Amino acid sequence: MTAAIETVALEKHYGRHFAVRGIDLRVEQGSIFGLIGPNGAGKTTVLRMLLDIIRPTGGELRVLGRAPREAGAALRRRIGYLPGELKLDDRVNGRALLERLTALSGPVAPGSIDLLAERLDIDLSRPVHTLSKGNRQKLGLVQALMHRPELLVLDEPTSGLDPLVQREFITLVREARNAGQTVLLSSHVLSEIQHTADEVAVLATGTIVTRGDVASLRLTSVSRVRAVLSAGSAAEVRIALGRVPRLDELDVSAAPGNLVRLTCTLRGTVDPLVQALARFTVRDLTIEEPDLEESVLELYGRTTALT
């Protein structure tokens, strides 16, 4: 596939401080790519370099096949951008603001603005200065989406939105991908990344510490295990599970009806645990898949321990 975004050894530093150091990134066309990281990880700096808002200190960068520094306004019209710190003209109403912005974006199909406003539940007749943070964010989403750009670059897009609008946003992002658009989504709200992204990169202190699809990132974290067994004592179960690697927080206790209940956490594959339990009669077994937040928190914990 052709890359919508490609960076090689991308760097940005301010004096001796490195905001981004040596990032290699490839985002395929027609995909949703998530950037995860806490404040200060370098997410916004990367996005601003893609838009040529700031210039890289080193490395190579291409967006939609062009170098942003050379492509200028023609490239920016092919991109829909929602900045993390959204600033809007307060002197007009929402409709007037969006109509003014159509002169800067690519062509906007008739009815697109009204349809997006309806789906995001925003009244465009209200003056911008009267809007809440959430409604200002909705305006920002409309302006990013209204011209159906080839590439959407969204920085913390659901900030201030209520849960119902967040759900509609996820639907809009999926529709954009299905229409062949590419979406680069930067967020610390892991649930929206988990439910939308095809691929994820995790940033820490200006570097990518890991990347992959959401399913593979989940494998780096813990699974929560609960089981009810018979044909064994609590002591026998404890001894059998003591041989299972990367098993922690084991709690084994006798239960009425000659049963044994256990809970534990497991880091890694479940096969050794299943083999250890196979010598008993398993009445009930629940293995809860870790969510992306658990995976990322554990990954940051391991990264911190190594630094």
Domain with 120 in it: what CATH number? 3.40.50.300
What is the model's pLDDT at position 307?
A: 42
What is the model's pLDDT at position 211?
A: 85
pLDDT, block means (10 residues), the chain with 307 residues: 91 92 94 87 93 95 95 93 91 94 90 97 96 95 97 93 91 96 86 83 85 68 85 89 89 92 86 92 84 57 46
Chain mean position to CA 217 = 12
The sign one gets for the Cα dihedral 160, 164, 167, 169 is negative
Give the residue from 162, 187, 218 where a domain finishes: 218
Kindly state whether residues 195 and 270 are assigned to the same domain.
no
What is the model's pLDDT at position 203?
A: 86
Kindly state whether residues 214 and 226 are assigned to the same domain.
no
Structurally, the chain folds into a number of domains equal to 2
* Exposure letters 118-153 (e unless 16+ CB within 10 A, then b): ebbebebeeebeebeebbbbbbbbbbbbbbbbbbbb
What is the model's pLDDT at position 57?
A: 95
What is the model's pLDDT at position 289?
A: 62
What is the model's pLDDT at position 196?
A: 87
Which strands make up the sheet holding 281-288, listed edge to edge?
Answer: 247-255, 259-267, 222-230, 281-288
What is the model's pLDDT at position 213?
A: 81
Say if pTM beats, i.e. exceeds, 0.85.
Answer: no
What is the model's pLDDT at position 293?
A: 55
Kindly state whether residues 265 and 118 are assigned to the same domain.
no
User: What residues make up the domain containing 79?
Assistant: 3-218
Domain with 282 in it: what CATH number? 3.30.70.3100
Flag whether 304 is in a domain.
no
Q: How far apart are CA 299 and CA 217, in angstroms?
A: 9
